[in-house]
Amino acid sequence: MCAGRLSVCATPIGNLGDVTLRVVDTLRDADLIAAEDTRITRRLLARYGIETPLEAYHAHNLERRTPALVARMSDGVHVALVSDAGTPGISDPGAHLVDACLEAGIAVEVLPGPSAIVTALVASGLPTHAFYFGGFLPRKAGERRTRLESLASLDATLIFYESPRRTPATLASLAEALPGRRAAMARELTKIHEEVLRGPIDSLVAGVEGRTLKGEVVLLVGPPDRGSARAIADPAAIRERLSVLESAGVSRSAAVRQVAGEQGVARNDVYRIAHEPDDRGGSPATSA
Ligand code: SAM
């Protein structure tokens, strides 16, 4: 193994005080800092009086820069990697450099610290026994719906990164695919204008309506509740709910989508249950 190495350094997601002592020492001792946005990293370095040379490493130059950085580490250079905010490798180009280093036999050490995922999860008050991080959801509404439907039955809190501009549309998609769930929107975490909205997903949709959101946002949706999980073992309850919705004029496909989201059951399973005769020998749920 060569003497050069990569130190993956987590940096604050807002409050510059949230950097670890070990990261400060490493940024100071490294030969070079590869930074996603050198202007942002300069502010952190200025706060701690660090003068290590900075080079840009981001989505638009990583194809070119990765082999050059790997070659320098192979020659014994110690590179510290930082992203705009939080832990490099999480929804940013860091994972690419880590992969290339491991491939080349270069030592990689990870210095843990802030990440918006964990900060938002704990702040949300939603269940933490299991969580699913989905990065950024697809921008096209149809693809978003398909992705969310595939996640509806997971017994885990769902976490997504989002831009403030797209947040209202994404919340509306979440409310449509996962109706009735508890949810949260965490904005500007650790910063002066930190805001965490918590409540049923529909109330969040209403809560952002007409607002121009600024800053950075994490969206979270709780798992299907335990009562619903019990209903999975009770096809009669699913048929009953479908029947109530269809009697109220909801179309079969919309009712299936709603029941699947409410109860955390795959849509195919709801369709199958709807078409099976019930245990008491009754007929399948009628189609609207
Ligand atoms: N690597 C980073 C991490 O560990 O959290 C995430 C990088 S990703 C490109 C940037 C996204 O993280 C933002 O669009 C936003 O969804 C989320 N994020 C970062 N900082 C945040 C903050 N202070 N408050 C809320 N969300 C934040």
- Residue 183's nearest CA partner among 193, 165, 192, 170 is 170
In ligand 1, which atom is closest to the CA atom of 87? 4
Going by pLDDT thresholds of 50, 70 and 90, the confidence category of residue 234 is: confident
Tell me 257's DSSP state: H
Rounded to 10 degrees, what is the CA torsion of 199, 204, 208, 210? Answer: -120
Taking residues 229-254, what's their average pLDDT?
Answer: 79
In ligand 1, which atom is closest to the CA atom of 114? 4
Taking residues 137-149, what's their average pLDDT?
Answer: 94
In this prediction, residue 278 carries a pLDDT of 63
5-114: CATH homologous superfamily? Tetrapyrrole methylase, N-terminal domain (3.40.1010.10)
Residues with C-beta less than 6 Å from any ligand 1 atom: 13-14, 83, 85-87, 90-92, 115-117, 161-162, 186-191, 216-218
CB burial of residue 214 (10 Å; 0-12, 13-18, 19+):
exposed
In this prediction, residue 269 carries a pLDDT of 82
User: What is 117-224's CATH topology?
Assistant: 3.30.950
In this prediction, residue 267 carries a pLDDT of 80
Taking residues 114-142, what's their average pLDDT?
Answer: 97
Is 0.85 topped by the overall pTM?
Answer: no
Ligand 1, atom 11, residue with closest C-alpha: 161
Q: How far is the CA of 104 from the centre of ligand 1 (A)?
A: 29
- pLDDT digits over 61-86, tens only? 999 999 999 999 999 999 999 999 99
Alpha carbons 6 and 88: distance in angstroms, whole number = 12
In this prediction, residue 232 carries a pLDDT of 52
Pairing verdict, β 182-187 and 217-221: antiparallel
In ligand 1, which atom is closest to the CA atom of 117? 5
In ligand 1, which atom is closest to the CA atom of 188? 24
- Residue 155's nearest CA partner among 90, 232, 103, 255 is 232
Q: How far is the CA of 65 from the centre of ligand 1 (A)?
A: 23
- Residue 162's nearest CA partner among 205, 241, 94, 215 is 215
Q: How far is the CA of 29 from the centre of ligand 1 (A)?
A: 26
Taking residues 133-150, what's their average pLDDT?
Answer: 95
- pLDDT digits over 92-125, tens only? 999 999 999 999 999 999 999 999 999 999 999 9
Q: Tell me the sheet residues that pair with 183.
A: 199, 221
Q: Between the ranges 26-35, 206-215, 255-264, where is the mean pLDDT highest?
A: 26-35
Give the distance from CA 202 to its chain's centroid: 20
- pLDDT digits over 163-208, tens only? 999 999 999 999 999 999 999 999 999 999 999 999 999 999 999 9
